[in-house]
Structure 1
Amino acid sequence: MKKILLVCAAGMSTSLLVNKMKDAANEKGVEIEIFALPVSECDSVANEVDVVLLGPQVRYQKAQVDAIIGGRVPVEIIDMRDYGTMNGKGVLKKALELMK
């Protein structure tokens, strides 16, 4: 099963986005694991995920996450508009495109 990691600061708004993305995946019939962690815990799952998406509030830590992931999978910043509107469908679509 594919796994999407959302990287966040504290996790409150990001967990809401995770739920919206899970709802969108269920609607599409896509089996996927989606979860959120702070940057400090990324290394614990770096070898288990298929794509990493950073919340706009932690975009300044992209270089740090890139170093943790080591180029193994795509690391991208979530579009600020999609994040702000909690567009689970849009963020899921982007993640699925990055995994192809």
Structure 2
Amino acid sequence: MRIVLCCAGGLSTTMLMNSMKDTVHNSAKLNDADFDFIAIPIDILQSEADNCDVLVLGPQVAHKLDAVKPIIEPRKIPYVIVDQETYGKMDGATVMKQALIARRKADLKK
């Protein structure tokens, strides 16, 4: 599963991505080999969308959702908007759970 994390510049989201990687690595149920993560600035989402299974948006770019939807909806890519508290804590476990739930819901709609 490829999880694409977007923020304004891709820097702070890299910290969240690393926390998500640690969550997977330390999990008894999840396997590192099943996940691929990338943190990018939202401005280059179009170039990464074809290889995206779940999109994670940082709270600082949540207001750009209307611009993101035309990119992700035709591809049926589920998304998660991380709330400010979870983002501030760099709580990768919570975001990972949200991403897995979003992907599962999308799969059930197929």
Displacement over 3 Å in runs of 4+: none
Give aligned pairs, total. 99
Instruction: Kindly report which structure 2 residues correspond to 1:17-96, keeping only aligned pairs within 5 A, or say none.
Output: 17-28=16-27, 29-30=30-31, 31-71=34-74, 72-96=76-100
More helix by share: 2
Moved more, 66-75 or 50-59: 66-75
CA RMSD across the alignment: 1.2
Larger radius of gyration: 2
Q: What do residues 44-68 of structure 1 show as CA deviations (whole Å, max 9, x unaligned)?
A: 1111111111100011111111111
Maintained 8 Å contact 1:66/1:75:
no
Q: Percent same amino acid at aligned positions?
A: 37
Give the structure-1-normalised TM-score.
0.91
Aligned to 1:15: 14
